[in-house]
Amino acid sequence: MGVEVLDGHRVVPVVVLDDAARADDLGAALVAGGLPVAEVTFRTPEAASVLGRLAERGDLVVGAGTVITAEQVDRAHDAGARFVVSPGLSADVVRRCQALDLPVFPGVSTATEIIAALDLGLETVKLFPAEACGGLPTVKALSAAFPQVRFMPTGGITAASAPAYLAHPAVVAVGGSWMVAPDLLAAGDWDEVSRRCADLHADLHADLHADLQGAPA
Ligand SMILES: O=C[C@H](O)COP(=O)(O)O
Ligand SMILES: CC(=O)C(=O)O
């Protein structure tokens, strides 16, 4: 299984949370906002516990982010991760995920890294850090050379820029933290988390509607 693990959701909230006691509130807010997906980054000591608490709810697709070692893959898998994301491409990480049948989306930002990902049997990669490495023009240039590759751009994407990325046929999803911004999590502003998730649906719907209106009959 690859990107289908996301259950059709095209925006992946990238979560940095250092308090597992808040995981349940966060999960409820994402579900209430209609975006029941979370990439829990392994950037805090509590990451595996946060992931486990979200996964055990059973109403979200939960994966692990910032996974840079095979040992972290094992911890993520044990905690219930259904996918793994990494800021870069580590053959060790990819192979451990493949051994566990865990979809893995490693970060790439160059053609050389895409070739390495293809060599490992992957066809969906993250583009990271998306905005800093050129944004949508970089997606267009890389996908022209690699039409078989699908991208999940992450890094610097906002509610305003997400729809343009998602309109590109090579983009299967985008990742971002704007709806789970650290200040919202620190303040426990779960209503605002839900509102940003729900707004995103409205924006994408409006964008699609505008495309359809403009499309030739
Ligand atoms: O490292 C950051 C994550 O990839 C999410 O990026 P972002 O905070 O720019 O949305
Ligand atoms: C940047 C990101 O998504 C990661 O650290 O895996």
pLDDT in the model for residue 49: 97
Task: Specify whether 140 is catalytic.
Answer: no
pLDDT in the model for residue 57: 97
**β pairing state of 11-15 and 37-41:** parallel
pLDDT in the model for residue 38: 97
Report residue 168 as tokens.
Answer: 């590109």
pLDDT band at 211 (very low <50, low <70, confident <90, very high): low
Average pLDDT of the residues of the chain:
93
Task: Specify whether 39 is catalytic.
Answer: yes
Cα four-point dihedral sign 98, 102, 103, 104: negative
- Helices and strands (H, E) in the chain, number of each type: 9, 8
- 156 Cβ below 6 A of ligand 1: yes
Starting from the CA of residue 40, give the closest ligand. Answer: 2
pLDDT in the model for residue 206: 58
Q: Which of 56-60, 69-73, 86-90, 212-216 has the lowest mean pLDDT?
A: 212-216
Which pLDDT tens digit goes with each residue over 6-48?
988 999 999 999 999 999 999 999 999 999 999 999 999 999 9
pLDDT in the model for residue 205: 57
Q: Is the ipTM of this complex over 0.95?
A: no
Mutation test residue for ligand 1: of 14, 126, 180, the one with most atoms within 8 Å of CB: 14
- Domains annotated for the chain, with CATH where assigned, are 3-214 (3.20.20.70)
- 161 Cβ below 6 A of ligand 1: no
Which pLDDT tens digit goes with each residue over 85-117?
999 999 999 999 999 999 999 999 999 999 999
Asked if the model's pLDDT at residue 70 lies above 50, the reply is yes
Which numbered atom of ligand 2 lies nearest the CA of 128?
1
pLDDT in the model for residue 201: 75
- 65-81: average pLDDT: 98
**β pairing state of 150-153 and 174-176:** unpaired
Q: Please tell me the distance between residue 58's alpha carbon and the centre of ligand 1 in angstroms.
A: 25
- 112-132: average pLDDT: 98
pLDDT band at 156 (very low <50, low <70, confident <90, very high): very high
pLDDT in the model for residue 216: 42
Closest CA to 15 of 34, 31, 30, 32: 30
Cα four-point dihedral sign 96, 69, 20, 196: negative
